[in-house]
Structure 1
C-alpha cells in the first residue's frame, strides 16, 4: 500500500496537479519550496506529464514523469519515468553561465522527445538547485540561474513563477525525513516512533531526527528545531544542513585547498592518497593538482588525523543520536557499495564501526592501489570521522543504508509532495 500511495503522491508533485483553492492558516517552513503560482489551473487532461530538474553539486538530472488521472479527484496512476543526467553540475560553469545553461537545454530535448507535442504547453518544468550553487558567490549563482530561466522561457513547456531557484539546505533534510518515515510506515496514524535520516552530498550534509528526550530540546542550538503538522500529528524535528561538509567539499578541506589563495602551480598532498599518485581534479569549476606524500606518512592513522581536523568541534553533537535508528543515503550508500559492504540493489545494515573497519583496510593497503577512486581511503576516513567525531555517533550505532524504500527514491521530492498536498487541502 505504501508503494502505491508513495508513487502516486510523488507523481502529483512532479506534475503539479493542484487545487485551485490554497488553504494556509499560518506561515510554514515549506513556503518557498513550492508556490501556489507553480500550479496550472484547470488541468483536465487524463494523461499528464511533469518535468523536474535536480541541479546537484556533481551533476544535473532530469525526471520526466507520465501518469494517468482515471477518476477526477482521485490519485493518478504512475505510468512511467524517463531519467537522464549530465556531469558536471551547473556550479562547474561558474564563469560560463551560458555554457552551463546549455546542459539544461540538452536535457530538455529528452523531455520534448518523451512528451507528446499536444501536452507541452500544460506540462510544468521546474529546477531546484542544491548545495553546489549555495557554495558559489551570490552574483555568480544568480547568473547561472538567470541563463537557465532564459532556456525555460524559450521552451514550449509551462514555466511557473520561481521555476528556477536554490533550495535551502534545511529543506533537504526535513523533506528526506518525511519521505523515509512515510515510506517505512512511521507517519501513518499518530506514532511518534520514527527513524532519523543522514544525507551526504558533494557539498553539504544533513542530519534530521525526531527528539525523544526533553534534554535534547533544551540543549539544541537555536535554529536547529523545526515544528510542523502532518496527518493530524505535530512533529518537532532536530534538523541541520552543514554547508561545506559534503564529501567532495571535505576533500578540499582535508587537502588544505580551502586555505590556499590560488591553486596554479600548487600540488596538495595527503597521507590519505597513494604515495606515487600525481593527478588533477576539477570541482566547482576549479582545477586542483593533488598527490600522495612522497616521503611522509601514509595510511589510516595519519589520514584520520587529517580528516579529523575538518570536523572536530565544528558540528553539534546531540547525545540522543547514539541510541537512535537512522537511515543513511547518497554518498554513505555509494561508498558502502564501492567497498562491497552492501549490495547496490538492496542496500543493507551497517554499524558505524563498519565504516572505520573498511577505512583501515583500504588506507593501510594504499601501496597496492590499482583501480577505483584514489580518494576512497580519504572518503571512508572522512565518513568515519563525520559520524563519530562530528555527529557523535557510537561505534555500535546501526545505520540502514538505502537508495530506495518500497521502490521509491529516498530523496526530498516525496516529502515536499506531502506538504504541498496538505497545504492545498488535498491530503487529509
Structure 2
C-alpha cells in the first residue's frame, strides 16, 4: 500500500518534506508488519491528487465506465491546494493547451473500468483554504484587514510564517474583503491560453463533464459550520450564492457575537469566517467561472462513503486502476 502525502508537504521549504518522508519510511521499516517498500512513501504530484477524488466519486455514483458526458466533475478544497477535475471530449483534449503547467500535461488519458477518459486535472498550490488565508492576509502588508471580524486583534500562522490578523476600526466589510480576495487569486493575471480560471491557468475547455460538480473538503466543512447545510449529511445540493449570503451575515458580525450567530463554528475559524466565505464564493464564481445560481453538490467524503450500505469503498482499487494506465 502506498503512503502518499498531499499539498501540505509540497509547500514545505528546503529538505523538510524529505525529512518527514524519511521518518515515515523508518516507521514502516522498524515498527510495522505491513508490506513495505521505500519508494511507496512519496509526495503526490498535483495532477494525481486532483484525479483521486474524481475517481472515487464517479465509482460511488456508478458513472465510472460510462461516457464522459455522464461523469461528474469534482472540486476539492484542501488546506494547501484546491483541485479541479473533470472529463473532457476527445475534441477538447486534442486542442488542450501545451504550455507547461509544472504538473505535466493539463489533460491526461486515464482508463477506468475499461473506458478511456481525457481528464483535465489541475492542482492549484497555495490556494487551499489554509494557504489562501495567508495569501489574502499578505495583501494588507500587516496592516488592518477588511476580512477580519470587528474586535479581533491577533495572528494567523501558516507553514511556519506568522501573519497579523487585525480588524479595521469599522470592522469587516464584504465588498472590501472581496477586492483583497480577488487580488490574492490573481484573477487578472496574464492568460497565455484561450481561456483561464485564475493565476493564468488554462480552464480545461469546459464541456459536459463539468456540468455536474461535486465539491468537497473545506467547502463542506465551512458550509456546515455556518448553517448552509446540516452537519454530517452525506451530501446536499447548494449554490455558490449560498456562500455569498452567509458571507454577508458573517462580515457584518462582531467577533464577540459570531458564536451566537453561527453556533456550530469552530473556534479556530471565528476571526476569519468572513474571509473564508468570501474566498469560497469568489473561488467558485470568479476563479472557476460558475454561475452564482448553478446547483452544485457538497459532499462529505466520509459520510458519503458510509451512506453506501453494503458497498465497499473502492478508492484503493480506483487509484490502482488509474495509476496503472497513466
- Shared fold (TM-score, shorter chain, > 0.5): yes
1:94-105 equivalences in 2 (<5 Å):
none
- Which residue is 2:318 aligned to? 418
Contact 1:134 1:141 in 2 (8 A): yes
Helix, strand or coil: the match of 1:273? coil
- Which residue is 2:24 aligned to? 148
Q: Which has the larger radius of gyration?
A: 1
Q: Which of the two has greater strand per residue?
A: 1
Query: Which of 178, 182, 206 matches 1:320?
Result: 206
Closer/same/farther in 2, CA of residues 294 and 217 from structure 1, 3 Å limit? farther
Separation in structure 1 between the aligned mates of residue 68 and residue 164 of structure 2, nearest angstrom = 52
- Which residue is 1:214 aligned to? 91
- Which residue is 2:242 aligned to? 354
Cα offset, 1:269, TM superposition: 3.0
Contact 1:326 1:400 in 2 (8 A): yes
Gaps in structure 2 of 5+ consecutive residues: 100-104, 189-198, 260-264
Closer/same/farther in 2, CA of residues 383 and 191 from structure 1, 3 Å limit? closer
Separation in structure 1 between the aligned mates of residue 205 and residue 241 of structure 2, nearest angstrom = 18
Separation in structure 2 between the aligned mates of residue 162 and residue 216 of structure 1, nearest angstrom = 32
Cα offset, 1:293, TM superposition: 1.6
Helix, strand or coil: the match of 2:83? strand
Q: Any idea what the Cα deviations from partners look like across 1:350-394, whole Å, max 9, x if unmatched?
A: 111211121122112346634342111100100111111111111
Separation in structure 1 between the aligned mates of residue 150 and residue 290 of structure 2, nearest angstrom = 31
Cα offset, 1:192, TM superposition: 4.2
Helix, strand or coil: the match of 1:374? helix
Separation in structure 2 between the aligned mates of residue 321 and residue 352 of structure 1, nearest angstrom = 19
- Which residue is 1:139 aligned to? 15
- Which residue is 1:198 aligned to? 75
How many residues end up aligned between the 2 structures? 290
1:402-417 equivalences in 2 (<5 Å):
402-404=299-301, 405-407=304-306, 414-417=314-317
Q: CA RMSD in A?
A: 2.9
- Which residue is 1:310 aligned to? 184
Closer/same/farther in 2, CA of residues 424 and 336 from structure 1, 3 Å limit? closer
Separation in structure 2 between the aligned mates of residue 173 and residue 422 of structure 1, nearest angstrom = 12
Q: Any idea what the Cα deviations from partners look like across 1:87-141, whole Å, max 9, x if unmatched?
A: xxxxxxxxxxxxxxxxxxxxxxxxxxxxxxxxxxxxxxxx321111100124121
Query: Which of 145, 149, 152 matches 1:274?
Result: 149
Closer/same/farther in 2, CA of residues 188 and 204 from structure 1, 3 Å limit? same
1:199-348 equivalences in 2 (<5 Å):
199-212=76-89, 214-215=91-92, 218=95, 220=97, 222=99, 223-256=105-138, 267-294=142-169, 298-311=172-185, 312-313=187-188, 314=199, 315-318=201-204, 320=206, 324-346=211-233, 347-348=235-236
1:175 is aligned to 2:14? no
Q: Any idea what the Cα deviations from partners look like across 1:296-347, whole Å, max 9, x if unmatched?
A: x631101111101111131434563697110000001001101111122223
Contact 1:199 1:207 in 2 (8 A): yes
Report the TM-score when normalising by structure 1.
Answer: 0.61
Gaps in structure 1 of 5+ consecutive residues: 1-15, 17-33, 35-126, 261-266
Contact 2:146 2:167 in 1 (8 A): yes
1:128 is aligned to 2:128? no
Cα offset, 1:254, TM superposition: 0.6
Separation in structure 1 between the aligned mates of residue 147 and residue 321 of structure 2, nearest angstrom = 47
Separation in structure 2 between the aligned mates of residue 190 and residue 318 of structure 1, nearest angstrom = 18
1:363 is aligned to 2:259? no
